[in-house]
Amino acid sequence: MSKLDELIAELCPDGVEFVELNEVLDYEQPTKYIVKSTNYDDSYTIPVLTAGQSFVLGYTNEDFGIYKASPDSPVIIFDDFTTSFHWVDFNFKVKSSAMKMLRSKDNEIANLRFLFHLMKNINYIPVDHSRQWIGKYSKFRIPLPPLAVQQEIVRILDNFTELTAELTAELTARRKQYEYYRDLLLTMEDKPETKWMKLGEIADFRNGKGHEKAIAEDGKFIVVNSKFISTNGQVVKFTNQQISPLYIEDILIVMSDLPNGKALAKCFLVDENNRYTLNQRIGALRVKNKNIIDTKFLYYFLNRNRQLLKYDNGVDQTNLKKNEILSVNIPIIPLKEQKRIVAILDRFDALCNDLTTGLPAEIEARQKQYEYYRDKLLSFKEVTA
- The whole-chain average pLDDT of the chain stands at 89
44 CA to centre of own chain: 22
Predicted confidence (pLDDT) at residue 95 exceeds the cutoff of 80: yes
The domain that holds 88 is classified in CATH as: 3.90.220.20
Q: Determine the structural domain holding residue 79 and report its residue range.
A: 18-141
For residue 302, what pLDDT band results from cuts at 50, 70 and 90? Answer: very high
Q: How far apart are CA 271 and CA 251, in angstroms?
A: 10
For residue 151, what pLDDT band results from cuts at 50, 70 and 90? Answer: very high
**How many Å is the Cα radius of gyration of the chain?**
25
For residue 209, what pLDDT band results from cuts at 50, 70 and 90? Answer: confident
Q: Which class for 358: exposed (0-12), middle (13-18), buried (19 or more C-beta within 10 A)?
A: middle
Q: How far apart are CA 209 and CA 246, in angstroms?
A: 12
Q: How far apart are CA 179 and CA 201, in angstroms?
A: 27
**One domain for residues 320 and 375:** no
How far apart are the two ends of the chain, measured CA to CA in Å? 28
Q: How far apart are CA 151 and CA 200, in angstroms?
A: 62
Q: Is residue 7 in a domain? A: no
Which residue, of 311, 332, 353, is where some domain finishes? 332
For residue 356, what pLDDT band results from cuts at 50, 70 and 90? Answer: low
pLDDT of residue 26: 96
Q: How far apart are CA 120 and CA 24, in angstroms?
A: 16
Q: What percentage of residues in the chain have a pLDDT greater than 70? A: 97
* SS3 of residue 302 by DSSP: helix
**49-53, 59-63, 176-180, range with the lowest pLDDT:** 176-180
**One domain for residues 51 and 115:** yes
359-377 and 147-186 helices, crossing angle to 10°: 170
The pLDDT tens digits for 246-259 are 999 999 999 998 87
**One domain for residues 216 and 319:** yes
Beta strands at 282-287 and 251-254: parallel, antiparallel or unpaired: antiparallel
| pTM of the entire predicted model | 0.63
Predicted confidence (pLDDT) at residue 113 exceeds the cutoff of 90: yes
226 CA to centre of own chain: 13
The domain that holds 359 is classified in CATH as: 1.10.287
**One domain for residues 246 and 366:** no
Predicted confidence (pLDDT) at residue 364 exceeds the cutoff of 90: no
The pLDDT tens digits for 272-286 are 998 999 888 999 999
C-alpha angle with apex 369: 365 to 372, nearest 5 degrees? 140
Predicted confidence (pLDDT) at residue 41 exceeds the cutoff of 60: yes
The average pLDDT across 100-109 equals 96
The letter for the amino acid at 26 is D
**37-51, 67-81, 288-302, range with the lowest pLDDT:** 37-51
Q: What is the DSSP letter of 104?
A: E
The letter for the amino acid at 74 is P
Instruction: List Cβ<8 Å contacts ≥24 apart for 71-75.
Output: 74/112, 74/113, 75/101, 75/102, 75/103, 75/112
Predicted confidence (pLDDT) at residue 1 exceeds the cutoff of 60: no
Q: How far apart are CA 146 and CA 15, in angstroms?
A: 11
**One domain for residues 110 and 173:** no
Q: Is residue 10 in a domain? A: no
Name which of 11, 22, 13 is nearest 147 in CA terms: 11
Which residue, of 115, 141, 167, is where some domain finishes? 141
Q: Is residue 112 in a domain? A: yes
**One domain for residues 261 and 345:** no
**134-138, 187-191, 264-268, range with the lowest pLDDT:** 187-191
**One domain for residues 98 and 158:** no
pLDDT of residue 180: 83
pLDDT of residue 27: 96
* SS3 of residue 230 by DSSP: helix
The total number of structural domains that make up the chain: 3
- Residue 201 has phi, psi (to 5 degrees) of -80, -20
For residue 198, what pLDDT band results from cuts at 50, 70 and 90? Answer: very high
**One domain for residues 317 and 350:** no
The average pLDDT across 355-363 equals 70
pLDDT of residue 147: 95
Q: Is residue 11 in a domain? A: no
The average pLDDT across 294-319 equals 91
Q: Is residue 127 in a domain? A: yes
pLDDT of residue 161: 85
The pLDDT tens digits for 128-140 are 888 999 999 999 9
The letter for the amino acid at 326 is L
Q: Is residue 108 in a domain? A: yes
23 neighbors 152 (Cβ within 8 angstroms): no
Q: Give the number of other Cβ atoms within 10 Å of residue 81's Cβ.
A: 17
**One domain for residues 328 and 209:** yes
Which residue, of 141, 159, 175, is where some domain finishes? 141
**One domain for residues 35 and 73:** yes
Instruction: Decide which of 177 and 264 is more confident.
Output: 264
**One domain for residues 25 and 113:** yes
**One domain for residues 288 and 373:** no
Predicted confidence (pLDDT) at residue 96 exceeds the cutoff of 80: yes
Q: How far apart are CA 265 and CA 51, in angstroms?
A: 26
Q: Is residue 12 in a domain? A: no
Q: Is residue 3 in a domain? A: no
For residue 62, what pLDDT band results from cuts at 50, 70 and 90? Answer: very high
